[in-house]
Amino acid sequence: MKIFLVGGAVRDRLLNIPIKDRDWVVVGATPDMMIKKGYNQVGNNFPVFIHPTNGEEYALARTEYKTGKGYNGFTTWFAPDITLKEDLKRRDLTINAMACDDNGRLFDPYNGQKDIFNRKLRHVSPAFNEDPLRVLRVARFAATFAHLNFRIAKETKKLMCHMVREGELSNLTTERVWRETSKALLSINPQIYFYVLRECGALKILVPEISRLFGIPSPMQWHPEIDTGQHTLMSLTMSVVLSDSIDVRFATFCHDVVKTLTPINQWPKHQSHSLLGVSLVKSLCDKWSVPNSTRKLAIIVTELHDQIHIIEKQPIEYLVEFFNRIDAWRKPHRVEQIAIIIEANSRGRIGLENSLYTQGDYLRFTFQLAKKVSTKNIIQQGLKGIKIFEELTKRRIEAIKSGLIINEKKHLLS
C-alpha cells in the first residue's frame, strides 16, 4: 500500500503558490485495509476515506468508464492492482495529473511539469471529451491562472469547441454550472472564464442572457467601447479591483442584461431598461439556484443602477427613499456594495478605467448622515406605527440636508 499526494496540491507546489487543499491517492489497498488502519469511509460511488487525525481525504486508486450522459454518466472501478498512472489518466489537465510520494519524488506520466513551465492548460487524454463539465473547468483554470500567463493549448481548445458543437453541455446540471461559475467569479480574472466560454461557443448555451449582449451597441458618448458585452466584462474586471465579494461581482456581471430586450430600431439607446431587467436576472438566478444574498443584490442593482449615476442631482427625499428600497437600515453593507458596483460599472469603459466616481462617495456620506437619526428617540416621544416611519423619514431628510450644507461650507473654507 502506497500513498501519494495528487492533483492541485502538487501543481501549486510546483508553481510556488499557497496550497489550499490536499488530496491523496492510495495504491494497492482495499476498503477493509483502510478501515483497519482507522480511516473512516465516506462516499457511495467509490470509497473515499477520511484520515483519523488530519481529516484529509484519501481515495483508492481508480479508473472510470463512460456509460451514460453527463457528469454522473460514469462507472468507477477501484482495485488494488490499479496503478498510479491509470488513476492520473482519468484527470482533466496534465497540470492536475501529477503526484508526489512521501519522499517528495514527482510522478509525472503526462508531462504536467513541462506544461507548467510552458504555461499550458492541456488535456490529459482523448477521454477529456467524455465529461462536459471539463469545458467549464478549463475555462475556470484559465481565469485562475491567467495572471501567471497560462493559456489553453490549441488542441484542448479545439476539443472544447467540438464538445460544444456535439451538444455535450446540455447534459450538465445547473447546480454544477453555478458551482464552477461561482469559483470562477472568485478568481483573479473572472472575465477570462466568460471570454473562454464565448470563444468555444459555450456562453450562448450556458448564459444566453449575457451572450446576446455581444454585438449590442450603446451610445459612444457614454460607452467608448460601444459593445455592451465588452462593457459587461470590463465592469466585471473592475469589480475585482474593488471587491472580493461574489455578491458584488455577480451583480456587476448582471447589471446590463436587459439591453438584450431593446428593439434594434432603438439602438444604441436603451430607454427604461433597468426595471425590465429584473425578470431576466430572476430567471437566471432561478436557473442556477443562486444563493439568496447574491440574488437579491443582483436584482437591486439591475433595477436601480441607472438612478445612482445621477444620484447627486436627485432630491434628498428620493435619496432617503432609495435607502428604504434597498433595506439599508437593516442591511447597511448594501450601501457599500452598491457604491462599489456602480463605480465598477462607470470605470468599466475604455479610457475611463482610472476616472473618479464621486457618486459612490456621495452615497456613502449621505447614508452616514441619515444613519445618525435615532429611532429610539422617536419611539420614546410616544409615536407609533406609520407615524414613526414618517418622523424618521423627515428627520433623515433634514439630517442629510444639514450635513451637506456643513460639508459644502468646509470645502469653501479649505
Binding residues for Mg(2+): 21, 23
CB atoms within 10 A of CB 68: 9
- The binding site for CTP consists of 8, 11, 91, 137, 140
Closest to 196 in 3D by CA, of 89, 186, 235, 207: 207
Task: Say what angle helices 174-185 and 246-254 make with each other, to 10 degrees.
Answer: 110
What is the pairing mode between strands 120-121 and 151-152?
A: parallel
* 20, 120, 253, 346, 365 from 355: Cα distances, Å: 36, 35, 20, 8, 20
**CB contact at 8 A, 311 and 322:** yes
- The binding site consists of 8, 11, 21, 23, 91, 137, 140
Q: What's the chain's Rg over C-alpha atoms?
A: 26
**CB contact at 8 A, 370 and 255:** no
Q: Angle 375-380-383 (CA atoms, 0-180°, nearest 5)?
A: 80
Q: Which three cell numbers stand for residue 258?
A: 436587459
- The binding site for ATP consists of 8, 11, 91, 137, 140
Closest to 346 in 3D by CA, of 363, 365, 369, 368: 363
What is the pairing mode between strands 23-27 and 57-60?
A: parallel
